[in-house]
Amino acid sequence: MKKRVLTWILTLAVVGGVVAGIVWKLRSPSEPEYRFETAQVERGRLTSSVTASGTLSALVTVEVGSQVSGRIEKLFVDFNSEVKKDQVVATIEPMLFQADVRKARANLMAATGNLARAKAEADLAEKQHARTQGLRAEGLVSQADADTAAANTIAAKANVEALKGAVEQNRAALYQAEVNLAYTTIKSPIDGMVISRDVNVGQTVAASLAAPKLFTIAEDLRKMQVDTFVAEADVGKLAAGMAVRFTVDAFPNRRFQGVVREIRNAAQTVQNVVTYDAVIDVGNEDMALKPGMTANVSVVVAEKDDALKVPNAALRFRPPAELMPAGSGSGAVAEGGPPGAGSGRRRGGANGAGGPGGPGGPGGPEGGMRRRGPPGEGEGPQAFRGGGEGAEGGAPVTRRTVWILRDGKPQPVRITVGITDGTSTEVLEGELKESDELVISSSGGPSASGTSAPRGGGNPGMRRMF
């Protein structure tokens, strides 16, 4: 009897233990799994370029104005009219100026007559002075009469000289009146096309302080230029003779070609942003481009036809800390600065403080203030602009770490990078081959129940204070 009781007790204990184990197993949380998003390493054409915006304009643009005031009598050209040099484009009512010419001519005639009379009087005074001198020698006239005759002669000659000056003044006044009359006929100074007309027939123009603008004439719209505003960080990459591609909003599916003519040294500062004017020569044989159009310019800096390239998102990715290889710390340390150095100013996004994978950077240990630095490992043409500066040495950062998915886990691979187009970056050295799967973001894991964004795929531009 006791044996049977003991057997039942043992059986119940075993069954209870099994049941308890099953219940514990069911109630205990399973270890969360990570999910990785990947992208393949590819081969293809890669173009590094500098982008900017600018405005199209003619090579030579002349504003035709009026040097005299008056009412517009006639207009001989309109918008888009082709004109030749010295062609009459408008006239101003000439009546007042014709009257000024007649008045000046009459004044000149009067001054000429006065001069002739003064010459006759001077000749008469000289003859009288000669007779007085003869009579004085014979004692027939007094010395006072002789002196008066001499003075009259000198005065008559001086009057002749004064009237000569008056004649020249009136002649100059006549010339000025004739010039003003000629200015009532407005002529084109160059061959070209009228791109703007600012007056109408009957409108009065006043040229008292500045010449009023009547027309704007472009010399030759078959040759144009684009004045672009290039950021100071990119201007060092440009040089005269570089090929340029650009689009305009009027023809979004058409790419126009051009060549950099010059980079002007005069800086322009707007809201603390420094830019330089890069002038681009553009052909416009079909007259499709118009002055004033906005051009979205892309200057080709470097091109590779068969480059091994990786997506820039893979360069920014850092795996969760619990999946990091032993001894790797918080992430791979970029070359060009001591490991973990982050006290200095970082530019180019090196893997120190403020860079991806470094303390305070995306994917790195959270502490202090997280901030976004320039896109060293981010997107955009500046991603690998010669690399960033190390915290102390300042050497160019050209090496990066990417994470390749092997056996379901990310493994680090060190690579040397080259040019970038803002989306993909060239691989110069490293144990990567075409079709390798690179991790660009992760989700799940211990933080799956939280509200944090997928690792490596969030917006690196957000700032967060702790």
**pLDDT given for residue 336 in this prediction:** 38
**pLDDT given for residue 30 in this prediction:** 55
User: Quick one: which of 190, 177, 175 has its CA closest to 84?
Assistant: 190
**pLDDT given for residue 29 in this prediction:** 56
**pLDDT given for residue 302 in this prediction:** 86
Terminal-residue alpha carbon distance, the chain? 71
**pLDDT given for residue 327 in this prediction:** 54
The CA-CA-CA angle for residues 12, 15, 20, to 5°, reads 120
Strands 88-92, 70-75: pairing is: antiparallel
**pLDDT given for residue 282 in this prediction:** 96
In the chain, list all ranges with CATH 1.10.287.
61-203
Asked whether 180 and 103 are in contact (CB, 8 A), the reply is: no
User: Quick one: which of 349, 357, 360 has its CA closest to 333?
Assistant: 357
Give pTM, 2 decimals: 0.60
Bin 292: left if φ > 0, else alpha if -120 < ψ < 50, else beta: left
Strands 185-187, 223-231: pairing is: unpaired
Note the CATH number of domain 61-203.
1.10.287
E strand residue ranges, 67-221: 70-75, 82-83, 88-92, 185-187, 192-197, 204-205, 213-218
Note the CATH number of domain 50-59+219-303.
2.40.30.170
Asked whether 248 and 293 are in contact (CB, 8 A), the reply is: yes
DSSP 8-state symbol, 395 = -
Place of tokens 């390798």: 436
**pLDDT of the chain, 466 residues: tens digit per residue:** 666 767 777 777 777 777 777 776 666 555 567 788 899 999 999 988 899 999 999 999 999 999 999 999 999 999 999 999 999 999 999 999 999 999 999 999 999 999 999 999 999 999 998 988 888 888 888 889 889 989 999 999 999 999 999 999 999 999 999 999 999 999 999 999 999 999 999 999 998 877 889 999 999 899 999 999 999 999 998 999 999 999 999 999 999 999 999 999 999 998 999 999 999 999 999 999 999 999 999 998 888 888 999 999 999 998 887 777 665 544 433 443 333 333 333 333 333 333 333 333 333 333 333 333 333 343 333 333 333 333 333 334 478 999 998 887 888 999 999 988 889 999 999 888 888 889 998 887 665 444 344 445 444 433 333 3
Dihedral angle at the C-alpha atoms of 337, 339, 340, 346, nearest 10 degrees?
10
Asked whether 92 and 70 are in contact (CB, 8 A), the reply is: yes
**pLDDT given for residue 139 in this prediction:** 83
**pLDDT given for residue 383 in this prediction:** 37
